[in-house]
Structure 1
């Protein structure tokens, strides 16, 4: 065989190389299909194709593009008007993850079942929505590197500003436009809310202490039980509806009973028995100042005896004290309502003391012997302070001073309350009193000054109107 027959072979090979497309050597990577990313097998071609003439359905392409197994769709008597979800054409944003074991991506169970053919479109639409949701979830879980954003870490939207002209100052003011995502739609009809003209504040407490000491205790001592009850009710005029008026009334009752193991006459003694009423009424003068009138009355309910004796120390309306004053009051409360102070100054004040029990020595109350009452005209001043130090710590203080320019008396009461919870509390009460008419007590350094201090633990209950 002659070699001349093969002399055209190199020429043919070179020609074939030049005829191959240039881009066949460097092919661009083909984007993976959704089914490839989901690692789903491609559905086999159906043996026959069913052609149904129907009106245009915007969801048909979406169903056949996402799942090849859908070969035919029932005729839809009603066509849904909603468009394809916008999220389909946007970067993926991870919003939530939901695990549903009973629903597969390719064959979810229908959530709606109805014998009425008119509702078939609703079943198909619900199915389509569930397929879209599950495909999206499955895609993001298996391909987290393709998820662009997370709903929890999305950047803040750009701020918007607006410019307004102020002719009075010949300036342009640029301010930020604040938009609210969730706008509350105002009701068509206004809801009538009952006005509360009076605000109530009620509190009640029962504190106690107990000590047991065995007879052979090396230091000695006595068993004792102490109980302290306190009820307070405050009523105040609502300043929101009556800004030019001030009215407040406070009623308080305290009772302290203690066992008396060393008392041969009494099993128990009453260490404190006080009923007190305070009232204030005023008309606004300027800012926080009011022209005001205030009144105070106090007495006790039970008989009180001296230790190891049947002699009465005090009883109901023995003593009884009434004080009325005219002047001005300053009232101030901060916006968080944690601190409130009220100061009353009465240049004109009337004070009366009484004792209705003939068995009691009236000179102990500053009343002349042979008289049952004493009246005095002078001046008084009162300061009340309320401070919520913390959510469970409150401090209340009251200072009252009266003088008729011959003698003076004053009271300073302090109450520090620690709330353990809604029903348990610890309370420290300190009452300092000054009375220039009192004589010095024998074998004691106390004369004109008097002091009472009580530390107690117990139950509490309170409520108030806002």
Structure 2
């Protein structure tokens, strides 16, 4: 039986090799041999040449007529394929921060005082393993000391200040040694078993965005690319600056004060506005200044307050550059006061609005300097205008004021001139020195002479800024005018006004 099976397998393999060895493919249809005889079956066998079979590549090209080449990756497709950055939620960040926060190791019932450990004896007993005492010595420690020993660098009284601390430390070591000797079963922890390294968070950083291959299909050229248009900012020819301050000075004296005196409240207000123009060789400076100083007058039976310093001033300077920092200028100034002032226990008005007022105009030259330093917030601004030819007009609209404070007497009479015309020279200088961010010095000098009379003013103000909106001011104003009558109580042409105040200050 085995021999028959082996012979049948060899027979099958032989026929299969013959079929593959031929150059043609024979197709034999399946038919029912019972119905067809052997002659007709021989006629149905068809032979096909393999060269007549279609090419596989041409067949694939016919099936893929709509196939297109891959499109290069652009920025829009990159944004679509780029994944969002992996970030932790605020809740997870808070949980991690609270886990590593050592303050969370204490319960909600523990206060800040409970977290201060003042003595290790109140903690669980820790076995340190130090058997030998610290002061164990087997030789004389003073044997090698020199005969002459200099005085200690630290005074004895300073060392004595730590005596209580050393005694408390020795007492704690003695108690620990006693428990270690007599009650070793109370030790629950050892120094070797405590963790040596602190737990540190491990930062896990993963690059979410993968590098996409970029296919360059064409060389990039910038021949057809136009440069961006040059941006030229609009120049500002007009500049402005504003300062406002409201200073308060208060003095209270009780009625039983041993040296006497009266309480007073001083209110000082100053508004200063600058609006300048500069273009080419032309420079125009405009200033507006309003100052009011009002204080309580408890000794005045007619009114409860008085005015000591009241100025309303408008100043304009038009300059044309001559050389370097020198300008040919036309300078003008208008000055008066806004509030009415009276003498103590008197109804005679000393001055008021347009009573008097003065107008000054001059032709000359001006020196203008603006300097900045390497030190931050340090700057210097200085200008002086010399009017070689000046005209001053002074007048009052109210003849009932104290004319002796402002005008001269007519020659040979007791009457005063209520209208004056003077020709002479004028010097007007301004200095603004910023020492640092908080300290500054402002000074203004005015000098006018008709070659027979002199009128001068020198104003100084030191500002100490405590913050952006609060500052202290020290103001010293001196004025000299020999064209008015002297005061009976003060026989001098020099007038002085000094004030120390604290209050609100604002700039822009």
TM-score, normalised with respect to structure 1: 0.59
Native 8 Å contact 2:388 2:424 kept in 1: yes
The residue number in structure 1 matching 2:319 is: 282
In 1, Cα distance between the equivalents of 2:489 and 2:501? 29
Per the TM alignment, residue 418 of structure 1 is displaced from its structure 2 partner at its CA by 1.1
What aligned pairs does 1:138-217 form with structure 2 within 5 A after superposition? Answer: 188-217=228-257
2:502 to 454, 457, 464: 457
Per the TM alignment, residue 359 of structure 1 is displaced from its structure 2 partner at its CA by 1.3
Secondary structure at the aligned position of 1:331 is classed as strand
User: CA offsets, 1:33-90, max 9 Å, x none?
Assistant: xxxxxxxxxxxxxxxxxxxxxxxxxxxxxxxxxxxxxxxxxxxx99999xxxxxxxxx
In 2, Cα distance between the equivalents of 1:352 and 1:211? 40
The residue number in structure 1 matching 2:355 is: 318
User: CA offsets, 1:277-326, max 9 Å, x none?
Assistant: 11111111111111111011110111110011111000111110111000
In 2, Cα distance between the equivalents of 1:79 and 1:382? 76
The reply on whether 1:309 has 2:346 as its aligned counterpart is yes
Per the TM alignment, residue 208 of structure 1 is displaced from its structure 2 partner at its CA by 0.3
The residue number in structure 2 matching 1:172 is: none
The residue number in structure 2 matching 1:352 is: 393
Secondary structure at the aligned position of 2:435 is classed as strand
In 2, Cα distance between the equivalents of 1:447 and 1:267? 29
Structure 1 or 2, whichever has the larger Rg, is 2
Structure holding more helix per residue: 2
Evaluate the alpha carbon distance shift between residue 264 and residue 237 of structure 1 in structure 2; reply closer, same or farther with a 3 A threshold: same
2:432 to 386, 402, 406: 386
What aligned pairs does 1:390-409 form with structure 2 within 5 A after superposition? Answer: 390-409=436-455
In 1, Cα distance between the equivalents of 2:356 and 2:487? 20
In 1, Cα distance between the equivalents of 2:321 and 2:265? 49
Per the TM alignment, residue 361 of structure 1 is displaced from its structure 2 partner at its CA by 3.2
What aligned pairs does 1:184-263 form with structure 2 within 5 A after superposition? Answer: 188-238=228-278, 242-263=279-300
Evaluate the alpha carbon distance shift between residue 98 and residue 209 of structure 1 in structure 2; reply closer, same or farther with a 3 A threshold: same
Per the TM alignment, residue 353 of structure 1 is displaced from its structure 2 partner at its CA by 1.0
In 2, Cα distance between the equivalents of 1:196 and 1:332? 20
Secondary structure at the aligned position of 1:363 is classed as helix
In 2, Cα distance between the equivalents of 1:441 and 1:370? 16
Secondary structure at the aligned position of 1:415 is classed as strand
User: CA offsets, 1:178-234, max 9 Å, x none?
Assistant: xxxxxxxx9823335332111111000000012222222333322211111100001
Native 8 Å contact 1:225 1:259 kept in 2: yes
Segments of 5+ residues of structure 1 without an aligned counterpart are: 1-76, 82-96, 112-121, 128-185
Secondary structure at the aligned position of 1:324 is classed as strand
Per the TM alignment, residue 340 of structure 1 is displaced from its structure 2 partner at its CA by 1.7
Secondary structure at the aligned position of 2:271 is classed as strand
User: CA offsets, 1:361-395, max 9 Å, x none?
Assistant: 32321244364311101111122111111111111
Evaluate the alpha carbon distance shift between residue 214 and residue 288 of structure 1 in structure 2; reply closer, same or farther with a 3 A threshold: same
In 2, Cα distance between the equivalents of 1:284 and 1:79? 65
The reply on whether 1:364 has 2:405 as its aligned counterpart is yes
In 2, Cα distance between the equivalents of 1:289 and 1:98? 68
Native 8 Å contact 2:342 2:350 kept in 1: yes
Secondary structure at the aligned position of 1:399 is classed as strand
User: CA offsets, 1:414-455, max 9 Å, x none?
Assistant: 1111111110011111111111123332233x4211111111
The residue number in structure 2 matching 1:270 is: 307
TM-score, normalised with respect to structure 2: 0.54
In 1, Cα distance between the equivalents of 2:424 and 2:341? 30
Native 8 Å contact 2:362 2:389 kept in 1: yes
The residue number in structure 2 matching 1:153 is: none
In 1, Cα distance between the equivalents of 2:397 and 2:408? 12
The residue number in structure 2 matching 1:374 is: 420
Evaluate the alpha carbon distance shift between residue 209 and residue 187 of structure 1 in structure 2; reply closer, same or farther with a 3 A threshold: farther
Aligned length: 292
Secondary structure at the aligned position of 2:492 is classed as coil
The reply on whether 1:100 has 2:206 as its aligned counterpart is no
In 1, Cα distance between the equivalents of 2:322 and 2:201? 66
Native 8 Å contact 2:306 2:341 kept in 1: yes
In 1, Cα distance between the equivalents of 2:201 and 2:267? 60
The alignment yields a C-alpha RMSD, in angstroms, of 2.7
Structure holding more strand per residue: 1
